[in-house]
Chains A and B, each alone.
Chain A
Amino acid sequence: MSARPVDGDDGAMGALLEFDHLRVEVPTPVGPRPVLRSVSLSLFAGEAVGLVGESGSGKSMTARSVLGMLPGAATIGGAVRFRGTDISTLDATGLRRLRSRDVAMVFQDPRATVNPVRTIGDFLTEVLRERGMSRSAAVAVGAGILADIGVDDVPRRLKQRPYELSGGLLQRVVIAAALAGEPALILADEPTTALDVTTQEEVVAILDEQRRQRGTALLFISHDLELATAVCDRIAVMYAGEIVEILPAKSLHEDARHPYTKALLRARPGSVPPGERLQTVPGTPQSGIEAPSGCVFADRCPVAEADCRTTVPLLVGGVACHLEVP
């Protein structure tokens, strides 16, 4: 289904989405500081990549850059290319086309995403109607997708309004609306964080199943490594505006090499037998603005050496760590 790079991520040809040394700086009282330092990542058609990190890691900003939704005051370096076109070169029409046809976004809180006074049917068919599809045809498509993802009593749901639906059901409607436009890529930013765990399972199962059937690529943003691993082909771990490690989801636990990835895996309460202490990383998660100028993780890394503070490690062989380079 997808051509998968063996290692590294530079200059991959034929990628659907490519972050090429993306750097985003925002003005601060002490001058411009980077929120994203140098993000390079390629996403191929039909592939699912998980972007995992803690607060301030820049994972949401990376996703937003795809749609040209960065803060107005930001200075951007590098490029984000969709099907080979640098999105910064798109005019308003091109950007609108990208947002409405090629890329769909699913946010964390469905209630903040859906217009509360319009019906589910209106919301679901908005994109299709925008493209000139007749109302009845658009409703048929929307109803079909709702049925596909296991929503019962579809005709009644279409007439309901957002407040009449539970959060989990509403998020399924948002996913259905994202799928209805038949995008090549779905950006899902913490799509289940606001939901109960049993509902989360249902929603990610639907997202996974539908995007596989349709061959849609997925950029899945999450703070939960295990959750991302379950629905993605590859995992990119972010820290302080930098991708520190990219590796296949299947072998995450065995192959994790970056000290931060290992620390994240060990910090999960399920990782050690009951009664044992959790292994923790000292300090708090940093953003790109606060992180040291060498390796972004150097301040908190248990194995950092003098070199780590001064030299930026390159992402080679899937890991950006001085100590992992032969």
Chain B
Amino acid sequence: MTLALASPLRFPARRLAALGWATTVAGVICALVVLVAVFAPWIAPHDPNAVDPLNAFAPFSAAHPLGTDDLGRDLLSRLILGSRTSLAGPLVVIVVSGAVGTALAVSAAWIGGWFDAAVSRVLDILFAFPGLVLAITVAALFGAGFLAPVVALSLAYVPIIARVMRAAALRERSLPYVEALRVQGFSGWHICRRHLLPNLAPLLVVQAAISFGYAMIDLASISFLGLGLQPPAADWGLMIANGQPSILAGFPQQSIAAAVAVVITVVAFTVVAERMAAR
């Protein structure tokens, strides 16, 4: 007599395959977006900044697959070029906040005591500031553009990364292998650099990938508010904002195309990140 217990886990292979399908699609989208950004000038069919007032608000056509905007610029080309700043911004944010956050977290967890307490308090204070508000304030003070919001947002993302990394570093530090290395006489610097950091790296990658999506939305919002890149730059957030008047004129393509690009990219990166985190 044989019986099988009913359970959703009965066919784990099939479940895995199902999960893998969504992740694969998301991964392909991420790769495509990155490739498009890297090769943007070669892929774009038109000069993204070529104004052609006679051809404004052109409908979909073979020459202009997504139509043109209020100045007659090719929307597809602007979307393709816009992927560069739209990806570069969040990338800088996660690289800077990841590096600073991890350095703070690991040194706080390793040194402990008053240093850990001080770092934790500073991070708590920083955490209390909504990142977007901080970035807007900085942009207002130092002028709009690419750099100011990105630097401000990098700062705002430090506590998000650092909190997770500090907890992980504390857990890692308490493992017996770290004590074994200390008994071997290795310096704290050696242990952190050669053992702690490499073991924390997978977690950092996951955190960074999750933060990437958030940073992209935040930067798009800043551009939308007019505090990021300035026209005529092609940037997805800016394109959503600039498309607004056209919506009233009955031509929503620009805002929709840019918004769809933001949403698809964010979702794809987040799906991949969540999948990595689940491992």
Interface residues of A (CB under 8 A from B): 27, 70-79, 88
Residues of B within 8 A of A77 (CB): 1-2
Kindly state the separation between the CA atoms of A27 and B7 in the bound complex, as whole angstroms. Answer: 13
Query: Which residue of the partner chain B has the closest CB to A70?
Result: B5
17 A-B contact pairs sorted by A residue (CB < 8 Å)? A27-B13, A70-B5, A71-B9, A72-B5, A72-B7, A72-B8, A72-B9, A73-B7, A73-B9, A73-B10, A75-B3, A76-B4, A76-B5, A77-B1, A77-B2, A78-B1, A88-B3
Query: Does B176 reach chain A (CB closer than 8 Å)?
Result: no
Given A27-B12, A27-B13, decide whether A75 and B2 contact each other with a Cβ distance below 8 A. yes
- Cα of A76 to Cα of B13 in the assembled complex, Å: 19
As a 0/1 sequence over residues 4 to 24 of chain B, the CB contacts with chain A under 8 angstroms (1 = contact) are 111111101100000000000
Chain B facing A: main interface SS: loop
- Chain A residues closer than 8 Å to B6, beta-carbon distance: 72
* Residues 60-84 of chain B, each 1 if its beta carbon lies under 8 Å from chain A, else 0: 0000000000000000000000000
B112 to A: closest C-beta gap in Å: 25
**Nearest opposing residue in chain B for A27, CB measure:** B12
Closest residue of A by beta carbon distance from B13: A27
Chain B, Cβ-Cβ closest to A79: B1
Which residues of A are found within 8 Å of B3, using beta-carbon distances? 75-76, 88
- A75 and B4 CA atoms in complex are apart in Å by 5
15 further A-B contacts with Cβ under 8 Å, apart from A70-B5, A72-B9, A73-B9, are A27-B13, A71-B9, A72-B5, A72-B7, A72-B10, A73-B10, A74-B5, A75-B2, A75-B3, A75-B4, A76-B3, A76-B4, A76-B5, A77-B2, A78-B1
Chain A nearest Cβ from B252, distance in angstroms: 49
C-alpha gap A78/B2 in the complex (Å):
7
Instruction: Give Cα A86–Cα B8 distance, bound, in whole angstroms.
Output: 23
Cβ contacts under 8 Å, B7 to chain A: 72-73
* The 6 residue pairs across chains A and B that have the minimum distance between CB atoms: A72-B7, A73-B9, A72-B9, A77-B2, A75-B4, A88-B3
Q: How far is the CB of A164 from chain B (nearest CB, A)?
A: 25
Q: How far is the CB of A104 from chain B (nearest CB, A)?
A: 23
**Chain B residues whose C-beta falls within 8 Å of the C-beta of A71 in the assembled complex:** 9
- Chain B residues lying within 8 Å of A88, measured Cβ to Cβ, are 3
CA distance A187 to B12 in the complex (A): 30
Which interface residue of B1, B9, B10, B12 has the most chain A CB atoms within 10 A?
B1
Residue among A72, A74, A75 with most chain B CB within 10 A: A72
Question: CA–CA, A77 to B7, complex, Å?
Answer: 17
In whole angstroms, how far apart are the Cα atoms of A264 and B39 in the complex? Answer: 68
Which residues of the other chain, A, contact B10 by a CB distance below 8 angstroms?
A: 72-73
Write the chain B residue with the least CB distance to A78.
B1
Q: Could you say which residues of chain B place their CB within 8 Å of the CB of A79?
A: 1
Contacts of B12 in A (CB 8 A): 27, 73
CB distance from A232 to the nearest CB of B (A): 30
**Nearest-Cβ distance from residue A84 to partner chain B, whole angstroms:** 16
Interchain nearest-CB distance for B2 vs A (Å) = 5
Give the distance in Å from the alpha carbon of A75 to the alpha carbon of B2 in the complex: 7
Minimum CB–CB distance for A72 against chain B, Å: 3
User: Could you tell me which residues of chain B, from 225 to 240, have a CB within 8 Å of some CB in chain A?
Assistant: none
* A27 CB contacts on chain B under 8 angstroms: 12-13
Within 8 A of A (CB), among B1-56: 1-10, 12-13
Per the bound structure, the CA–CA distance linking A74 and B2 in Å amounts to 11
Closest residue on chain A to residue B6 by CB atoms: A72
Chain B, Cβ-Cβ closest to A74: B5
Interchain nearest-CB distance for A196 vs B (Å) = 21
Chain B residue numbers with a CB within 8 Å of A75 are 2-4
Chain B: minimal CB distance from A186 (Å): 25
Among A70, A73, A79: residue with most chain B CB under 10 A: A73
**Alpha-carbon separation in the docked complex, A72 to B12 (Å):** 11
Question: With the chains together, A101 CA to B10 CA distance in Å?
Answer: 30
Could you tell me the distance between the alpha carbons of A78 and B3 in the complex, rounded to whole angstroms? Answer: 9
Which of chain A's residues have a CB closer than 8 A to the CB of B4? 75-76
Residues of A within 8 A of B1 (CB): 77-79
Report how far A71 CA is from B6 CA in the complex, Å: 10
List residues of chain A with CB within 8 A of the CB of B5: 70, 72, 74, 76
CA distance A79 to B1 in the complex (A): 8
Give complex CA distance A74, B1 in Å. Answer: 14
List B contacts of A74 (CB < 8 A): 5
When chains A and B are docked, how far (Å) is the Cα of A73 from the Cα of B13? 11
**In the complex, chain A residues whose CB is within 8 Å of the CB of B9:** 71-73
| Bound: A72/B13 CA distance, A | 14
Q: Which B residue's beta carbon lies closest to that of A21?
A: B1
Which residues of B135-169 have CB atoms within 8 Å of chain A's CB atoms? none
Chain B residues positioned under 8 Å from A72 (CB to CB): 5-10
State the CA gap A74–B6 with chains docked (Å).
10
**B12 smallest CB distance to A (angstroms):** 6
User: How far is the CB of B18 from the nearest CB of chain A, in Å?
Assistant: 16
How far is A78 from B6 in the complex, measured between Cα atoms in Å?
17
* A49, B9: Cα distance in complex, Å: 33
- Give Cα A27–Cα B4 distance, bound, in whole angstroms: 12
Measured between alpha carbons, how far is A73 from B1 in the docked complex, in Å?
17
Taken together as a complex, chains A and B put the C-alpha atoms of A110 and B10 apart, in Å, by: 31
Q: How far in angstroms is the closest Cβ of chain A from B20?
A: 15
- 8 Å CB interface, B251-268 against A: none
- In the complex formed, the residue of B with least CB distance to A86 is B1
- The CB with the most chain A CB atoms within 10 A, among B2, B5, B9, B13, is that of B5
Measured CB to CB, the closest approach of chain A to B117, in angstroms, equals: 26
- Determine the residue in chain A with the shortest Cβ distance to B5: A72
